[in-house]
Amino acid sequence: MALKLSRKDDSGVTVIEAHGRIVLGEETNKLREEIKQLLAAGVKKIVINLSGVDFIDSSGLGALVGLYSTANAQGAKIRLANISKRFRELLTITKLLTVFEVYDDEPAAIHSFA
């Protein structure tokens, strides 16, 4: 399933809802472009809600790491919400769970910026 992204604002935080797969190719490019547009517009608080993501490969993980680094370099923060059990295990194994700020649900991720 191709990656579909939607955007909304909640309490001054931009939430990107992702649905589908984050894999090498068009999907990772789409996610990169979406976040880069937000950063170029001066958005500093971003939550990526991954509840609708059913698969992420190493390229998708690499894209998230790159976006996280780019955002930090520009003074912005990215939080992840609603990750699957499998993705949490992947983040744990790769030690990236200590890098990303991960929340069980979208409201908790939004509230973390308060």
Condensed to tens digits (0 to 9), the pLDDT of residues 30-51 reads 999 999 999 999 999 999 999 9
Residue with tokens 């001054």: 12
CA distance 114 to 102: 16
Contact call for residues 82 and 104 (beta carbons, < 8 A): yes
Q: How much is the average pLDDT of 58-67?
A: 95
Cβ proximity of 55 and 84 under 8 Å: no
Q: Is the pLDDT of residue 2 over 80?
A: yes
Please say if the pLDDT value at position 56 is more than 90: yes
Q: Please state, rounded to an integer, the average pLDDT across all residues of the chain.
A: 96
pLDDT score for 98: 94
DSSP annotation of 32: H
Q: What is the pLDDT of residue 103?
A: 98
**pLDDT for res 1:** 75
Dihedral, CA of residue 64, residue 88, residue 113 and residue 27, to nearest 10: 30
Q: Identify the domain containing residue 106 by its residue range.
A: 4-111
Number of domains the chain contains: 1
Q: Provide the CATH number for the domain around residue 65.
A: 3.30.750.24
Query: What's the rounded mean pLDDT across residues 92-108?
Result: 96
Kindly report the backbone phi and psi dihedral angles of residue 53, in degrees, each rounded to the nearest multiple of 5, phi listed first: -90, 120
Q: With beta carbons less than 8 A apart as the criterion, state whether 40 and 32 touch.
A: no
pLDDT of residue 105: 97
pLDDT at position 78 is 98
| Identity of the amino acid at 38 | L
